Amino acid sequence: MVKSKVKVAIIGTGFVGSSIAFEMAIKGLVSEMVLIDVNKAKAFGEAMDINHGLSFVGQMSIYSGDYQDCKDCDCIIITAGAGRKPGETRLDLAKKNTSIIKDITKNVIKYYNQGVILVVSNPLDIITYMFRKWSSLPASKVFGSGTVLDSSRFRYLLSQKFNMDVRNVHGYIIGEHGDSQIPVWSAVNVAGMRLGEYCSIYNNPLCNTDKDEIAKEVKEAGATIIKNKGATYYAIAMTVNRIVEAIIKNQNSILTVSSVINGLYGINDVALSMPCIINSNGIDRVLEITLDDLELKELKTSAEKIKEVLKQVEDI
């Protein structure tokens, strides 16, 4: 069942948060959208700017507000946090943003009474884990955008390699939204065929060097964009809107979101990305897809790398 009235809150109106709001307005996904930021003037200005274009997309209520406006939301999107500065380590960023998110969690939960919490802030898996821990909400209700964008980048690069519509190429990036992410080559599907089958039939081989280059380009895509334009926000805005659409339209879509895993492949007590069925209840089910031996080993290594950072921030 699709709700006729949908309310969404976006916490953080920087490049990412404001781009998500703009994309959401263009798509007409919600009937009510509240923008929340410590910089209240920024949130007010973003809401006003989008409102002035509503005559071209349709009526909806868009306004700036505060944490009490999280009440009755179908989805609360967390984008707040600091960006990584030159010379700053991943752990430095984790400590800084975990501290910021701890305060946000406390304020959101004070008014939370329903809906899904969607984390977009980085480091994504760390923030997702800590938000779920501090909120005490079920893992199905608190999850991160994970490797949905990484998987989209993966599909795009494969589509370029095969000169094919990206919508007919399917593949997953799993594990960390970061350096230890894993491309699941064994599950890539091109035009309804396994990757190896397609390459063999159409004489379009994909050698190990090609695979390594694609995996590297996916992993470094964010850094490349930041180097050239200063920040990434368009593709993640489209990514978040796709996830929100799956939630509010109860679509049972399979998306590689990040959630706290317990028992999957023998992995416990860590947030990482796996294909999940997403609907109006949040995560309906985490799918334990078949991995080859190398992919499984790399997934367990990725989990350990995330846990190493978690140990450093859990007492914040």
Residue 88 has pLDDT above 70, yes or no: no
Band (250; pLDDT cuts 50, 70, 90): very high
Question: Mind listing the domains of the chain with CATH numbers?
Answer: 7-144 (3.40.50.720), 148-313 (3.90.110.10)
Could you report the per-residue pLDDT of 30-68, keeping only the tens digit for each?
A: 999 999 999 999 999 999 999 999 999 999 999 999 999
Q: Is 48 strand, coil or helix?
A: helix
Q: Is the pTM for the entire model greater than 0.85?
A: yes
Which residue would you say has higher pLDDT here, 230 or 136?
A: 136
Positions marked catalytic:
177
> Is the sign of the CA dihedral 24, 179, 315, 97 positive or negative?
negative
Q: Which two tokens stand for residue 150?
A: 């990484």
CA–CA distance, 217 with 79 (Å, rounded to integer): 24
**Phi/psi-derived region of residue 203, left when phi > 0, alpha when psi is between -120 and 50, beta in every other case:** left
pLDDT of residue 264: 95
Could you report the per-residue pLDDT of 147-172, keeping only the tens digit for each?
A: 999 999 999 999 999 999 999 999 99
What type of residue sits at position 144? Answer: G
Could you report the per-residue pLDDT of 186-207, keeping only the tens digit for each?
A: 999 999 999 989 988 988 788 8
pLDDT of residue 2: 60
**pLDDT > 90: percent of the chain:** 87
